[in-house]
Amino acid sequence: MTKDVDSALDDAIDKNVKAKLLQRRSNKDVRYDVKNGVVTLNGSVNSSARRGEIEKLVGSTPNVRQVVNEIEVKNQKATSSSGAE
């Protein structure tokens, strides 16, 4: 029974996230996966501000328990610069 409820919630989350990404025209840049209320984001965007905006947008979707943001920012190294070379 719980599995059916989780599956139905995931389907609803999927539809809502898809609509939000379409609305923001981010559906071509960002892919996502929904499992048990956790949305994992992948893809790439042009700025860290955009990355954060998408995470916040998806996080505000009803029934989303957690957002795992694995979106990369184009033209930016994945490692943080600590000043050590």
Chain centroid to CA 3: how far? 23
Q: Give tens-digit pLDDT for 13-61.
A: 999 999 999 998 888 899 999 999 999 999 999 999 999 999 999 999 9
Q: Taking Cα atoms as reference points, which of 35, 33, 27 lies closest to residue 6? A: 35
pLDDT tens digit string along 59-78? 999 999 999 999 999 886 65
Q: Is the pLDDT of residue 2 over 80?
A: no
Which has the higher per-residue pLDDT, 48 or 79? 48
Compute CA distances 3 → 7, 23, 37, 60, 63, whole Å.
6, 30, 12, 23, 15
Among all chains, which residue has been given the structure tokens 């919630």? 9
Domains of the chain: 2-73 (3.30.1340.30)
